[in-house]
Amino acid sequence: MVRTRRLWTGLFLSLPLTIYIVIVVAPLLVSFYYSLTDWNGFNPEYSFVGAENFLKIGRDPQFFGAIRNTVVWMVAAIFLPSLGGLAIALALNGRGFAGNIYKSLFFLPICLSLVVIGQVWIWMYHPDWGLVNTVLSGLGLDGLRQAWLANPQTALWSVIIAWSWQQMGLAMVIFLAGLTSVPKELTEAAEIDGANYWQSLRRVVIPLLGPATVVVIALAIINSLKSFDIVYVMTQGGPFHSSDTLAMFMYNESFKKYYMGYGSAIAVVLFLISLVLISFYFRQVRIMNEVYD
Amino acid sequence: MKQLVWRLGAIMLLVALALGGCTAPVAPAASTGGADAPAAGGEPTKLSVIHYFSDTLGKEAMTKILDGFAAANPGITPVDNSAGHEDFKTQILVTLAGNNPPDLFSYWAGARTQFVVDGGRLAPIDQMWADNKLDEIIPAGIASGASTYSGAKYLIPLGYHYAGMFYNPKVMAEAGITEMPTTWEELIAAADTLKAAGIAPFALGSKNRWPAQFWFDYLLLRTAGPEYRAKLMAGEAAYTDPEVVAVMEKWKELVDAGYFVADANAYDWTDAADQVANGKAAMTLMGTWITGYWNGNELQPGADYDFFPFPAMQDGVPNVALGPVDGFVMTAASAHKPESEKLLMYLLDPAVQAAWAQAQGALAPSMKVDASIYNEVMKKASDQVAGAEGFAFNYDLATTPPMAEGGLNMFAQFMNDPSKYSDYLAETENVAKEVFKK
Amino acid sequence: MTEVTRPTNANAPRPRRVFRRWPELLFYTLLTVIVVLYSAPGVGVILTSFKTTEEIGRLGLWSLPEALRVANFTEAWTGGNVAQYAINSFLVTIPATIFSIALGVLTGYVFAKLPFRGSEALFVFVVAGMFYPPQIVLIPLFRLFNAVGLYDTLWPMIIVHTAFGIPICTLVMRNFFSAVPNAMREAAIIDGSNEWQVLTRIMLPVSLPALAVLATLQFTWIWNDFLWPIIFTQSDNMRTIMVGLASLKGQYSVAYGVQGAMSIMASIPTLIVFIFFQRYFIRGLTLGSVKG
């Protein structure tokens, strides 16, 4: 019995783990190796420089800028699309046909590639004929007109908003899913007890959305650590690194400056950060499970 | 558990060693031969080509060239494997590092090509150069400046560009400027006139950073001179030197005077070209490829646009022209070197060079190309280069790629807030110290 | 068997509209305003796709086109090798989606129902792959596929997307399987079923919603990817549609209209997949998320 169970375990795990190790893990180890060298990506030869690349990280202000931006991105990713998605989900939940039409409109951006979304938002932010500035002028707020992507104060947030625009639909779907698991008896009971909408929302609905929130936040963290495509299309990390994320920074160092060794070191640090976050995430999830079991 | 960990570790290590190829890179011949090797049956040899001409005009013209070559050489089929312009750089780096590059690829002459040559990834073409007496076709300046690296020939120039002050003649005429400035003082006077007439003198679209470099380049070339500039590019001078400070100071005066269209970093160079074309601005400092863009928008050379060379600023400084050279190189890993050389030679065919120049708004490097192919503006550009006392590559091609990243970054910072230029110069000098291991 | 085991909320009645006391008109007006604002970027693409470059230059991107021209669509379709790109995209996306989910089902089942000493750590190890930006392994992976002779075929993309899909598929399937009572597996084993039969006859039928979630997510992500095809292929007839789209955005390119048209065409398959799986999607996420 135990034998057959072990046999099946081995049988089930062998193929997925082999592929995973060969394609996902082993190349990462190779990068770890590169991070100890001064390879430029072109030359067949390179030398071993030990921890030099990691020491360089410690004194590179651009690295800390990228860390700061990634943290901003992560915090924004946890709140902006999630709260927006939650609000829409609450507003549209159970509204029948009309609600479904609105839902699909909010779904739509998920289907578009980030390349397309980046391009559209470049148009949205165009200083002369972009919709954002046009609307501001229409509202008589000419003073707020900006070159949104060219201003280092606004570039990062402009990209984050474009990204959140897409991610909001995803958060909405997950919260809608969460809402279907809220038993209507509970909200009805609250209603009978004389609770108003907000009270019932806060005391009954929101707590029951906990599991959905865990999923939304996990996706937000993963996506913010990997945020690359839309930055690449919209700003390439600019103007002058003001919208660099860690992934973008690593790419620029490796493929534009040809510091492959240094870029690999950045990736190692990025991976270590994510390991910390994963263990934190799993601890949270375990606590949640204990609460809900 | 322990056993499992050990086994997993062992597998990972093995695979990592196999992938890294750190000690023993995969032999190039093993990976490139194979299916593409010329078969006895008369199957045409496939030449893999990657280039960065992804815009509508360039891509079309390049396709025509490759088709023409295939028609003239029935045994050889060139295959165009290009992706977009930005992805080109990643594509080239990864395929070179992975020992399976294309047979030929387009590249920017200058420090970038030197970088790949240093990596031993390109095949020298000295034999081909000598056999075909290319010294009689390619002018000495380009042959030494753009084709020769570390003492050997590597690059076949396809076209080159000249950076000048492109302007809208109608706007200039309306503001009462009929004589184009030839000195710095005249340029400032013209800018004042234009500004008084309510027209922005200079358009600049530095969203992608590189368009700003021409200002830095010309200001430096016209004040400190080409020799000092070459030193700076090679890491033998400092960005904090008084020569560079003086350049930034002059540039800052222009920005402070309000001569530039606001928010340069928000626009692409095509936006700046549009601003000049529609009269919002009068001039833009740009390469001759702008004529290709304008021609595509049905503008007439001479009537709708023209240029004048960047004015002289200081006596005794040689008049040097500035611009990039686009060329093709052959990879060391190519399994089809004779066929690749045929294609390189075909690129020097006067008809091909002329067609390319006309499509791109470029100048043809070959001396066999007759000047009659140019429109009046391009003719002028060609004469400018011929009459100049030297030709320099623009900044991002003149200095090594990691340095260029730092410098381009500084230009964008400068256009955003010129008042802190000395901070930017200090930062850039730190980059230079790192790059050149000073 | 399946009837009994179907999780209860899959068939749960739709919750009644929660607290519908607001004036409906005001609510829908407000909602419509928000939706209009929200849709603006998408509408911009659609408007642009019908305009000529000259019209865009003269009227800007946001005005209505003067006529409903389909020239951009025909140009986008015929200009590049788009039909071939689309076929390649399907040839990569469909197998990679299926394989990654199939492998995730296997690992998810082991981690949920056949735990062993250290399986928890192994699970974290597998999920960790989700967290690093794949750009860093471009060169090692290129070398791998080059060495085994798969460069410039569609295989590297299928394999890489399968492998990089394993973490998310494992995570979701493991959570989903955990929610199915252990007693069901044990009963089946006592009846003489083996693990494969338990997985295929008991577990999979009840996990259709989770499979639909993963199918949608994976299809969308793989379809929209353009990093790997640029690296692993060099021939034009091995390109996927997103590479075609990305290469339209050259440094000098200003063909906004064609770009818009191609964007719209490129997103149609994901849209269809999404609509097709939408029903399952909403149910599946509920179930998957209950256990975190």
**Residue of C143, C225, C233, C238 to mutate for B, most B C-beta atoms under 10 A:** C143
Q: Residues 98 to 117 of B: which have CB under 8 A from any C CB?
A: 98-100, 102
Q: Does C142 contact B98 at a Cβ distance shorter than 8 Å?
A: yes
Q: How many CB atoms lie within 10 A of CB C138?
A: 25
**How much is the pLDDT for A113?**
72
Confidence tier at B17 by pLDDT (50, 70, 90): low
Q: Does A13 contact C107 at a Cβ distance shorter than 8 Å?
A: yes
Beta bridge partners, B149, equal B152
Distance in angstroms (rounded) separating the CA atoms of residues B308 and B166: 7
Beta bridge partners, B152, equal B149
Q: Residues 46 to 75 of A: which have CB under 8 A from any C CB?
A: none
**How much is the pLDDT for C57?**
62
Report whether pLDDT(B40) > 90: no
**C275 interaction partners in chain A (CB closer than 8 Å):** 104
Q: Does C246 contact B83 at a Cβ distance shorter than 8 Å?
A: yes
**B357 domain-assigned:** yes
Report whether pLDDT(B47) > 80: yes
Q: Tokens representing A109?
A: 């951006």
**How much is the pLDDT for C251?**
40
A226 by DSSP, 3-state: which?
A: coil
Instruction: Please name the residue of chain B whose CA is at the shortest distance from the CA of residue C238.
Output: B81
Q: Which H helix or E strand runs over B65?
A: helix B56-72
Q: What digits encode the pLDDT tens for the residues B310-337?
A: 999 988 899 999 999 999 999 998 999 9
Q: Are the CB atoms for B394 and B214 separated by under 8 Å?
A: yes
Q: Is B326 on the interface with C (CB under 8 A)?
A: no
Q: What digits encode the pLDDT tens for the residues A79-114?
A: 888 888 888 888 887 666 777 778 778 878 877 777
Report whether pLDDT(B11) > 90: no
**How much is the pLDDT for C97?**
95
Q: Are residue B125 and residue B208 in the same domain, yes or no? A: no
Q: Is C124 on the interface with B (CB under 8 A)?
A: no
Q: Does A211 contact C289 at a Cβ distance shorter than 8 Å?
A: yes
User: How would CATH label the architecture of C82-253+265-290?
Assistant: Orthogonal Bundle (1.10)
Q: Does B90 contact C230 at a Cβ distance shorter than 8 Å?
A: yes
Q: Does C251 contact B20 at a Cβ distance shorter than 8 Å?
A: no
Residue percentage of chain A with pLDDT more than 90: 13
**A258 interaction partners in chain B (CB closer than 8 Å):** 93, 115, 401-402
Hey, what amino acid is at B429?
Answer: E
Q: Does C283 contact A22 at a Cβ distance shorter than 8 Å?
A: no
**A108 interaction partners in chain C (CB closer than 8 Å):** 39, 42, 271
Span B392-399, average pLDDT: 92
Q: Does C252 contact B20 at a Cβ distance shorter than 8 Å?
A: no
A239: domain CATH number is 1.10.3720.10
Distance in angstroms (rounded) separating the CA atoms of residues C121 and C118: 5
**How much is the pLDDT for C282?**
54
Q: Tokens representing C4?
A: 């009994």
Q: Are the CB atoms for B228 and B237 separated by under 8 Å?
A: yes
**Residue of C55, C146, C152, C228 to mutate for B, most B C-beta atoms under 10 A:** C146
**A7 domain-assigned:** no
Q: Are residue B167 and residue B265 in the same domain, yes or no? A: yes
Q: Are residue B218 and residue B328 in the same domain, yes or no? A: no
**How much is the pLDDT for B26?**
35
**How much is the pLDDT for B28?**
36
Segments in chain C below pLDDT 50: 1-16, 18-19, 251-253, 284-292
Span A36-53, average pLDDT: 84
Q: What digits encode the pLDDT tens for the residues B127-141?
A: 999 999 988 888 888
Q: Is B12 on the interface with C (CB under 8 A)?
A: no
Q: Are residue B318 and residue B362 in the same domain, yes or no? A: no
**How much is the pLDDT for C205?**
82
CA–CA distances in Å: residue C120 to residues A279, C136, C174: 12, 27, 11
**A94 interaction partners in chain C (CB closer than 8 Å):** 14-18
Q: What digits encode the pLDDT tens for the residues A157-188?
A: 999 999 998 888 888 877 876 776 666 677 77
Q: Are residue B369 and residue B317 in the same domain, yes or no? A: no
Q: Tokens representing B241?
A: 């030197």
Report whether pLDDT(A2) > 90: no
Q: Are residue B218 and residue B274 in the same domain, yes or no? A: yes
Distance in angstroms (rounded) separating the CA atoms of residues B33 and A278: 45
Judge if the upstream peptide bond of residue A239 is cis by omega within 30 degrees of 0.
yes
What string of DSSP letters covers C216-284? HHHHHHHHH--HHHHHH--SGGG--HHHHHHHHS-TT---HHHHHHHHHHHHHHHHHHHHHHHHHHHHH
Instruction: Please name the residue of chain B whose CA is at the shortest distance from the CA of residue C140.
Output: B19
Q: What digits encode the pLDDT tens for the residues B66-118?
A: 999 999 988 898 888 776 666 787 888 888 887 788 999 999 999 989 988 98
Q: Which residues contact C140 (CB under 8 A, 6 or more apart)?
A: A26, A27, A30, A31, B19, B20
Q: Is A174 on the interface with C (CB under 8 A)?
A: yes
**How much is the pLDDT for B13?**
54
Q: Which residues contact B344 (CB under 8 A, 6 or more apart)?
A: B104, B125, B128, B156, B328, B330
Instruction: Please name the residue of chain A whose CA is at the shortest distance from the CA of residue B101.
Output: A42
**Residue of C131, C141, C168, C200 to mutate for A, most A C-beta atoms under 10 A:** C131
Q: Tokens representing C82?
A: 């788009």
Q: What digits encode the pLDDT tens for the residues A243-262?
A: 888 888 988 888 888 888 89
Q: Does B97 contact C248 at a Cβ distance shorter than 8 Å?
A: no
Confidence tier at A135 by pLDDT (50, 70, 90): confident
CA-nearest of B150, B209, B226, B221 to B412 is B209
**How much is the pLDDT for C291?**
39
The listed range with the strongest mean pLDDT (A140-144, A213-217, B240-244) is: B240-244
Q: What digits encode the pLDDT tens for the residues B401-420?
A: 889 989 999 999 999 889 99
**Helices marked H in B376-420 — which ranges?**
376-387, 395-398, 401-416
CA dihedral over A117, A119, A122, A123, signed as positive or negative = negative
Q: Tokens representing B287?
A: 């390469």
Q: Tokens representing B175?
A: 């503001």
CA dihedral over A135, A138, A139, A141, signed as positive or negative = positive
Report whether pLDDT(B12) > 60: no
Report whether pLDDT(A127) > 90: no
Span A195-221, average pLDDT: 76
CA distance A208 to chain B (A): 37
**B27 domain-assigned:** no
- The values of phi and psi at residue A209, to 5°, are -85, 0
Q: Which domain holds residue A152?
A: 61-258
Number of domains in chain A: 1
Number of domains in chain B: 2
**B33 domain-assigned:** no
| Pairing, β B321-322 against β B391-392 | parallel
Q: Are the CB atoms for A265 and A35 separated by under 8 Å?
A: yes
Distance in angstroms (rounded) separating the CA atoms of residues A218 and A82: 11
**How much is the pLDDT for A182?**
66
| All chains having 3 or more CB pairs closer than 8 angstroms to chain A | B, C
Judged by average pLDDT, the poorest of B28-37, B166-175, B387-396 is B28-37
Q: Are residue B127 and residue B258 in the same domain, yes or no? A: no
**B329 domain-assigned:** yes
Q: Are residue B68 and residue B173 in the same domain, yes or no? A: no
B49 by DSSP, 3-state: which?
A: strand
**A35 domain-assigned:** no
**How much is the pLDDT for B32?**
38
**B28 domain-assigned:** no
Write the ipTM: 0.81
Report whether pLDDT(B34) > 50: no
User: Using the 8-state DSSP alphabet, how is residue B158 labeled?
Assistant: E
Q: Are residue B372 and residue B306 in the same domain, yes or no? A: no
Distance in angstroms (rounded) separating the CA atoms of residues C146 and B19: 10
Report whether pLDDT(B251) > 90: yes
Nearest to C129 among A15, A25, A282 (CB): A25
Report whether pLDDT(A293) > 70: no
Beta bridge partners, A35, equal none
Q: Is C231 on the interface with B (CB under 8 A)?
A: yes
Nearest to A147 among B20, B120, B266 (CB): B266
CA-nearest of B100, B127, B142, B97 to B115 is B97
**C57 interaction partners in chain B (CB closer than 8 Å):** 274, 297
3-state secondary structure A149-217: CCCCCCHHHHHHHHHHHHHHHHHHHHHHHHHHCCCHHHHHHHHHCCCCHHHHHHHHHHHHCHHHHHHHH
**A108 domain-assigned:** yes
Q: Does A19 contact C61 at a Cβ distance shorter than 8 Å?
A: no
**C220 interaction partners in chain A (CB closer than 8 Å):** 110-111
Q: Are the CB atoms for C230 and C291 separated by under 8 Å?
A: no
Q: Does C61 contact A26 at a Cβ distance shorter than 8 Å?
A: no
**How much is the pLDDT for B68?**
92
**B135 domain-assigned:** yes
**How much is the pLDDT for C292?**
36
Q: Is B267 on the interface with A (CB under 8 A)?
A: yes
**B88 interaction partners in chain C (CB closer than 8 Å):** none
Crossing angle of helices C208-224 and C256-290, in 10° steps, is: 150
Q: Does B34 contact C149 at a Cβ distance shorter than 8 Å?
A: yes
B178: domain CATH number is 3.40.190.10
Confidence tier at A218 by pLDDT (50, 70, 90): confident
The listed range with the strongest mean pLDDT (A117-121, B30-34, B66-70, C51-55) is: B66-70
Q: Are residue B111 and residue B239 in the same domain, yes or no? A: no
**How much is the pLDDT for B5?**
53
Distance in angstroms (rounded) separating the CA atoms of residues B238 and B429: 6
**B82 interaction partners in chain C (CB closer than 8 Å):** 247
Q: Which domain holds residue B349?
A: 47-161+324-392
Annotated domain spans of chain C: 82-253+265-290
